[in-house]
Amino acid sequence: MWQIWFLPILIVGVTVALSIPVGRYLAWIMDGHYRAPRWLQWLEQCLDTGPQTWKQYAVSLLLFNTVMFVFAFVVLTLQAQAPLNPEDQKTLSPTTIFNTACSFVTNTNLQHYSGEQHLSYFSQLLAIIWLMFVSAAVGFSALTAVIRGLRGDAHMGNYYVDMWRAVVYVFLPSSLIMGVLFLLTGIPMTFDGAAEVTTLEGVIQKIARGPVAALLPIKHLGTNGGGFFGANSAHPFENPSALTNILECINLLIFPFSLLVMFGRMLKNMRHATVIYGVMMLMMACMIMWSVYWDTMQPNPALTARAAMTDSNGKPYEVETRDADGKPIKQQVNVNAVAGLPVDQELGNLEGKELRFGTSAGATFAALTTAVTCGSVNCMHDSLNPLAGLTPLTGMWLNCVFGGKGVGLINMLVYLIVGVFLSGLMVGRTPEYLGKKVEAREMKLAMLALLIHPILVLGPSGLFAALDWGNKAVNNPGPHGFSEILYEFSSASANNGSGFEGLQDTYGFNNNPDPAVYSPQWDIATGLVMLLSRFIPIIAPLALAASLAAKKPTPFTAGTLRTDTFTFGFVLLGTVILVGALLFLPAAVLGPIAEHLGPMPFGG
């Protein structure tokens, strides 16, 4: 039993210990207290266009991301003509290029392609890896600007300088260190084409490889999640051993954890940051325990014997439906007994798992990667037990359990503003946060940032579930098929990028004679969702922080709601759970919960 829990405790414990010095370093860098070499200072001065208001900061952010999108689109379009293409990869379909550019610009890394099958090394390096660095720095920079507004600075900083600091002084050195460690563990780094080997049967087999070690560090440090291979971190070249699995888990957690320490240091209010850290940690611990319990400690229901389902009289269930003329009729629902398979399930649900990592590694990774909006996977989420599959969905729905670097904490601050407002209403006092009054303008901006996420998850999910676009693309019928649709849009809107899989959403190369029929609809819909859900929840909090910065501080009195106490921690936790349940519980009931309670697992 203890072996099951040792892995998640080790990963989280080590990361918490590392987050304190790393967070102090981040505050030192982003506040500009470092002394860089002269040539780096000169480059930074060239980028510095001066102090910016929130509007100027937002415009710079959008302009830079537009350039990123255009650059990535051009690189992917010219793939067939570009160098470093030993496997002679052709050009992807236009909708797949659009989706991929949207995905990596927004730090989502949703992949409607398989890296080793569809991308050249040139595309991986110039489009994918470059975007992994700069898109990760966007959320990082936005959080830094929001912190400046919350502490009352006269300006929000400079977007280009913040981007420079995040990339050059944070992501590049950390990626270099981790890249060397990954090389030592056997992860390949080569520009040679696929290796040809002769199998024991005498058949020639191609084994894909490439500059994997260049991509892998920033994939997790930047909470990107996009894999060099289609199997992502379940592939032995991306994650060869239990050691690399632990390192990758620490990598994807370290900056989301450390940003809470940076937040407290920059605000000079560590008690407040500790309360937020504690709330996030409690939610993450619950997600891990739920996932491990319902997957690692429970058998796979598809392999377990089940008795026939009947009513209290021992007769088949009857449901009321209508005939072709619209007249009500009763129809029997026969759910026959299911024989169990002779499979030892002592170690829980092992379907879709890589046992070289440990029995609980898949369920643990699934909880962590969706809590911090990374999207990397080391097991098949589609094969998680139904209630365990609810864990990654919950992480993406709440989107504030640490979340991605920067954006996750911004989302939690939105919940915090809502919690402060509700508390003020309950006691009949004007809500305040950090000594500034929270009024109508701030609440409108907070609700815009909060509600855009469920709108972009539930709206498209319902549309695709009602049309052939979704019904003909799912791999499983019933609640599990609905979960596949719901997961895809949850992942896109949360900028997570992981997939429940089972969806036929890959078009492939532009000359593919047999693409998935509705893949263009999936490409365009998820691409638009990724763009809207990335930038609206960033720009609205920027405006909110600037609005608070412009207000005069109010004196602290006995009636002021303290934000650095256990009481406020429970208020914040209750706000997140209550709002999250109201928004997403009905969808959860139609998907994973219905599948768990239903007659046949995984749609039969």
Average pLDDT for runs of 10 along the chain of length 604: 88 97 97 91 93 97 98 97 95 97 97 95 96 96 97 95 97 97 96 92 93 96 95 96 96 97 96 97 97 92 71 74 80 67 80 91 96 94 93 96 90 95 84 92 96 97 96 89 96 94 92 94 98 97 96 82 91 96 95 83 48
Residue 309's pLDDT is 67
Alpha-carbon distances of 265 from 20, 34, 51, 318, 425, rounded to whole Å: 10, 15, 21, 63, 30
3-state class (DSSP) for residue 322: strand
Cα–Cα–Cα angle for 343, 347, 351, rounded to 5 degrees: 65
Judge whether 340 lies within some domain. no
238, 237, 236: which is closest to 226 by C-alpha?
Answer: 238
Are 149 and 546 in contact by the 8 Å Cβ rule? The answer is: yes
Q: And the tokens for 581?
A: 């349940």
C-alpha 95/C-alpha 76 separation (Å) is 12
C-alpha distances in Å from residue 378, one per residue of 362, 375, 476, 490 = 6, 10, 22, 19
Residue 276 is assigned to a structural domain of this protein: yes
Does any domain span residue 323?
A: no
pLDDT of 475 reads 87
Residue with tokens 């910016």: 52
- What pLDDT is recorded for position 604? 45
**Cα–Cα distance measured from residue 24 to residue 15, given in angstroms and rounded to the nearest whole number:** 14
pTM for the full predicted model: 0.93
**322 in a structural domain:** no
Residue-wise DSSP of 54-81: HHHHHHHHHHHHHHHHHHHHHHHHTGGG
SS3 321: strand
Looking at residue 405, its pLDDT comes to 83
Instruction: Using alpha carbons, select from 407, 380, 545, 364 the residue that is nearest to residue 107.
Output: 407
DSSP tag of 338:
B
Q: Write out the residue range of the structural domain in which residue 572 sits.
A: 2-300+350-603
| Strand locations in 189-270 (E) | 195-198, 204-207
Burial status of residue 590 (CB atoms within 10 A of its CB: 0-12, 13-18, 19 or more): middle
Contact 135, 104 (CB under 8 A): yes
Looking up tokens 């209750």 gives: 574
Pairing of strands 432-433, 328-333: unpaired
CA 521 to chain centre: 22
3-state secondary structure of 451: helix
Rg (CA), the chain: 25
Domain count, the chain: 1
Structural domain includes residue 532: yes
Nearest CA-CA partner of 276 in 370, 143, 153, 389: 143
In a domain, 415, yes or no: yes
Contacts of 225 (CB under 8 A, 6+ apart): 109, 219, 232, 252, 369, 374, 375, 376, 377, 496, 497, 498
- 69 Cβ neighbours under 8 A, 6+ residues apart: 101, 102, 105
The answer to whether residues 166 and 34 touch, using CB atoms and an 8 Å cutoff, is no
Beta strands in 125-263 (DSSP E): 195-198, 204-207
CA torsion 121-124-126-130 (nearest 10°) is: -150
Residue whose C-alpha is closest to residue 393's, from 530, 474, 489:
489
With contact defined as beta carbons under 8 Å apart, do 69 and 487 qualify? no
For residue 72, the model assigns a pLDDT of: 97
Three-class SS of residue 306? strand
pLDDT of residue 404: 81
Residue 284 in tokens: 């993450």
What CA–CA distance (Å, rounded) separates 172 from 183? 16
The Cα–Cα gap between 49 and 547 comes to 23
Distance CA 563, CA 415 (A): 13
Asked if residues 465 and 482 have their Cβ atoms less than 8 Å apart, the reply is: yes
Residues 29 and 556: their CA atoms lie apart, in Å, by 31
The answer to whether position 482 is within a domain reads: yes
Q: Is the dihedral of CA 141, 146, 147, 151 positive or negative?
A: positive
- Look at residue 52 and tell me if it is in a domain: yes
